[in-house]
Amino acid sequence: MTFRKLHNRVILIIGLLFIFNISCKRNIKLKTAANDKLIISYIGDERIFHQDYWGMESTYWIFLPLVKNVGDERGEIQAVLAESWTRSDDYRTWTVQLRKDIYWHDGVQMTAKDIKFSIDLRKKVTGFEGNYNCELIDEFSFRLTTIKPISNLDTWDVYYPKHLLENLDPENYYDWDFWVNPVGNGPYKFVRDVPKTMVEVEVNPNYFGKQPKIKSAILKFSSTPSLQELLSGNVDVLTYAPRDFLFKIEGDNRFKSYHWWGSWAQSILWNHNNPLFKDASVRKALTLAINRVELSEVLNYPKNIPITDVLSTRAQRSKYDLSKPLPFDPEKATKLLNDSGWSDTNNDGILDKNGIDFSFTVTLQGQDKLMAIYIQNNLKSIKIGMDIETIEGNIIRQQLEKNDFDAIITRFPNSELGVERIKTYFNKDSQIGYYNREIDSLFNIIENTGDKNEIDRLYKKLVPIFERDIPITFIVPQVQTHIVRSDIKGLSNLFNADPVWSLESLWIE
C-alpha cells in the first residue's frame, strides 16, 4: 500500500469516527441526579410563589384553588380544596363544602376561615370589592355570593393561612417575607432559595391528594431561556422556549417539545376612527392579503394550530368547533380595495384614494417584529404601505386608551373568561372606535348567565357578525413552547403542555 493510499484511509477513518462521535453526542443520555427530581429553567426570582407575580404557574405548587380545570381537555372542573358545592338557579350563590383533610405545611388544619380571610385580604389590598362575598356557615363550609353569575367556581385564586398572616399589615402586602418563605397547603412545600438564583421545593408528605412522583424540584432562574443549559444537562426543563430552539433540537431524541395555545391570539387592532379602516370590506381585504397559514409555518408554530376570524370558548377550541377563516387570497383583496375606490392612480406602487395614500404605521412590541415584517411584505404585494414602530407595552396601552394609533399588533383575549375585558373593544367607549349594538347586547347577556351551554350558543351568534365586519384581524393564537427531556412523561399539547403547572402529575421513565 502506498503512503498516499494509507494517508487517505487514515483520514477517512478519522472522519467516520468524528461523524460517529457527533451522532453519539446528540443522542447520549443526559446526566440526572435522580429519577424523581427535576431542575427547571424559569424566568423570575425568589418571589415566584406570589400569585400576583410572574410565576403564576408555580404558585399552585404551594397554594391551591377551590377547583381546577388545568390539564382537562374537555374543560371540566375538578375538585381541589372544595369537596362539593351547589349553586342557585341564577348562578350567583354558591355553597361550598371544604375538605376536612387539608393541612398547612406547618401542620395547622385549613378551615373555611382561611377562605374568607383570603378573599377579604384581596379586597383590602386592591381596594376593589371584587366579584365575591364570602359568608361562613361553619368550620368547613361557606357561601359565596357574586355580583354577576359565574359558570364555575373560580379556578384562579388561591388561599392563604389566616393564622400566619392576619396580624401582618396589608399595606405592606407585596413586601411580606412570607412570599419568599411561604407556608401553603399544596403538593409541594418550600425548602430554600438563593436570591436571584433558584428556589427548591420538595413533596408535601401530608398532601391530601395523590402523592406526586416528582419528589423535588428546583426552579433555576434565568433572564432569558438558554438552550445550552438544556443541552448540557444542567436543567431538565426549558420553559417558554423561543420557537427557533426547535430547529436546533430537531432529530435529537433526548428532548421533546410541548405547545400551549388557546385563550390569547396575536391580533391586529385596527383604529376604526382612522378613515383607512372604517370600511369593513377594506378590513376584510387586509385580512385576505395576509398568508396566516404560511406565517404560522415561518414562526415554526405547531401544524394543527387553529386560525380563526372569530371569538371562541374553551369548549369550542378543545373540539376544534371553529368556523373556517378567510383564506389567503390577494387577488380578492385587491378587488375589494378597488371596489372601495382604492387604486394606484400615480403608479407609485401604493394605492390611493382622493389624494390619500393607503399607508399606515403599525405599533408593536419587539418580540412581534418578525410577524410584522412578514405582514408588511404581504401587504406590499397588494400595494399597501405599512411602517413598523417598535415600542414598549405600556406605551401601547396608552395609545389604546387615547385611541392614538393607526394599527397595533398585540395579543387579544379570546376566551369566555375575559368577557368583561373583551367587550370594552366593542361597546360605545370602544378603545378601537368600533361599536356594534348587537355584539354589545350579546356580551351583556353572556355576562349575566352562568350556563356554559348558553354561553357557547351566544358565542356562536357572534360568529356571523365578526365574519362580516372583521373588527379585528386575528393572526395566529399565541403559542407557549416548553422543551423537556424525552423521558419526562405526563405532558400533552394544548391544555396540559406546561411542565410547571403540571408538575404533580409528571413522572420520569
Grid cell 371553529 in the structure block, residue: 322
Predicted confidence (pLDDT) per residue in 150-173, tens digit: 888 988 899 999 999 999 999 999
Q: What is the pTM of this model?
A: 0.83
The Cα–Cα gap between 215 and 155 comes to 25
pLDDT, average across residues 410-425: 84
Predicted confidence (pLDDT) per residue in 74-99, tens digit: 667 899 999 999 999 999 999 999 99
Residues 444/457, Cβ–Cβ less than 8 Å: no
| pLDDT at residue 287 tops 70 | yes
Q: What percent of the chain has pLDDT over 70?
A: 91
Grid cell 432562574 in the structure block, residue: 221
Q: Which of the listed ranges 49-58, 160-169, 313-322 does the model predict with the highest average pLDDT?
A: 160-169
Burial, 405: exposed, middle or buried (Cβ in 10 Å; 0-12, 13-18, 19+)?
buried
Instruction: Please tell me the predicted confidence (pLDDT) of residue 55.
Output: 60
Instruction: Please tell me the predicted confidence (pLDDT) of residue 73.
Output: 58
The Cα–Cα gap between 124 and 103 comes to 25
Distance of CA 96 to the CA centre of its chain: 29
Average pLDDT of the residues of the chain: 89
Predicted confidence (pLDDT) per residue in 202-256, tens digit: 999 999 999 999 999 999 999 889 999 999 999 999 999 998 899 899 999 999 9
